[in-house]
A and B are shown apart, each in its own frame.
Chain A
């Protein structure tokens, strides 16, 4: 079946550090891939997405590249800020379906 595996958190970084949150997936067909972010006390917000292999999604300095050969969609940011502290969810959606498969989420804490 389809699944998403994220690195365990929490991840604690100093401000301006480089961020990588790993995400790998298992899916039949050609899924679309997403990163959602959840700030404290809020709902999930779409951060970025990619719909086909080698696509790069980007937003707010975050990037992720859809790697079919490694079935990965790792989230990166070159210089994190305290305001990036949140929980990040990797998710997939298979073509023609409405269902998201979410990862377990990775909590990021950025210290000033």
Chain B
């Protein structure tokens, strides 16, 4: 079975540029999560979707961050404009509604210069 797929795996960009991260959840999973991992703050939940609808975006740092889930098999996290402090590893995870176990993708390592 394919796990959660994320792309790109690595992204290097310059401050001010737009960055788009992509995620394909496990088929049949209807909950999707975006996390950010940094040394300073650990793992932070950015946003949670259920059945393609954003349920909780309280973790989104600021208006520069936006996330969409146009269908059950695809989600994007966009940063515009990017800043050096956005450098982190961004994880996507999915689960079945009602099940507590989340399945994580391999992450996208973002470096903003």
Contact = CB atoms under 8 A, between A and B. Distances in A.
Interface size grouping (class) on chain B: 20 to 34
A42 B42 contact: no
Interface SS majority for chain A: strand
Contacts of A93: 100
Contacts of B91: 43-44
Interface size grouping (class) on chain A: 20 to 34
Nearest to A105: B42
Contacts of B107: 42-43
B110 to A, nearest CB: 14
A73 interface: no
A98 B31 contact: yes
B45 A100 contact: yes
Given A43-B4, A43-B107, A98-B31, A49 B43 contact: no
Closest 3 A/B residue pairs (Cβ): A43-B104, A44-B104, A102-B43
